Amino acid sequence: MPAETPSPRQGAGRFAPSPSGELHIGNLRTAILAWLFARSSGRSFLVRVEDLDRARAGAEEAQLRDLAAVGLTWDAQAVRQSERGDVYRDAVHRLQDAGLVYECFCTRREIAEAPRAPHAPEGAYPGTCRNLTEEQRARRRRERPAALRLRAGVDSRTVRDALHGGYTGVVDDLVLLRNDGVPAYNLAVVVDDALQGVDQVVRGEDLLPSTPRQAYLAELLGYPPVEYAHVPLVLNREGRRLAKRDGAVTLAALADAGWAVPEVVGRILGSLGLPADGLPQALAAFDPARLPREAWIFEPPAAGRR
């Protein structure tokens, strides 16, 4: 993997796992899709380690190793969010200078129990701390540290998605900096994508509901718009998101159960309606318009030999 900075003109796609454990076949399928989208459109492909929250020792190395093992290539060294605190704080300062940030002292429970407007969307911040007086803020600062929230000027946004078409979702006063000082996921993703020249975001469709917030935040920060493709998830037999407890779902466990890497890749590609004989063949045949729109129900092979 050459360590080059991709040319921003060319654009880039990315895969951004959280190093909380080994990747499972659902994560690998999303990674392969992100790579296919990027490479088939002449873009660079980047890997970013989203380790602000849940980093387990050794997980990053294992994830990068598995991505390489299935045949993915990326064009610059993987970037770690935990090393980029300054760039997120810079973005918050820019929003503060524009008067778009306020302190929030709410606990989760207070947010859940707060009275809300009759048509307020589920899960949206009710605005409790939006208009506190300086006196009220001074008092609450003595009780608990504040999170920083965006003072959003809209309550919804429509984004374009390659697989979902127009998608309209909630924009609320989202958290920028958590009250433990850690940059919030939505902020970090938006800042990283922009600063890394990412103009194509391919990820699991469970993240579609956060996309209007992220697109709005990107706009406020003056970042160029990105293309989105939210791809179907991999589910277990019960129709729930695939997880480690569903049996042999990681590359290592699948190998133990008798599926070597080429077989795993072949099954992933087959589930996407692509030639199952390898990534180059799949890339040549890749057409986003022909991707399946339903989840893939994954049946793990029987227990391993161990």
Q: For strands 147-150 and 101-104, give the pairing.
A: antiparallel
Q: Which amino acid is at 143?
A: E
Contacting range for Zn ion; rule: CB under 5 A; set: 15-23, 59-67, 121-129, 160-168:
121-129
Of 104 and 194, the one with the shorter C-beta distance to Zn ion is 104
CA distance 30 to 36: 10
| 176 part of the interface to Zn ion, by CB under 5 A | no
Among 28, 72, 78, 106, binds Zn ion (CB under 5 A): 106
Smallest gap from residue 104 Cβ to Zn ion (A): 3
Q: Is 106 annotated as a binding residue?
A: yes
CB atoms within 10 A of CB 303: 11
Smallest gap from residue 131 Cβ to Zn ion (A): 11
Catalytic residue (choose from 244, 281, 284, 292): 244
CA distance 202 to 76: 18
Q: Is 9 annotated as a binding residue?
A: no
Q: Is 125 annotated as a binding residue?
A: yes
Nearest Cα neighbor of 192 from 14, 10, 9, 71 is: 14
CB atoms within 10 A of CB 211: 24
Contacting range for Zn ion; rule: CB under 5 A; set: 69-77, 128-136, 170-178, 239-247:
128-136
Q: Is 17 annotated as a binding residue?
A: yes
The reply to whether 244 belongs to the active site is: yes
| 128 part of the interface to Zn ion, by CB under 5 A | yes
Given phi > 0 = left and psi -120 to 50 = alpha, else beta, which region is 169? beta
Overall residue count recorded for the chain in this entry: 306
CB atoms within 10 A of CB 177: 21
Give the active site residues. Answer: 244
Binding site for Zn ion (CB under 5 A): 104, 106, 128-129
Positions at the binding site: 14-18, 50, 104, 106, 125, 129, 185, 203, 244
Positions at the binding site for Zn(2+): 104, 106, 125, 129
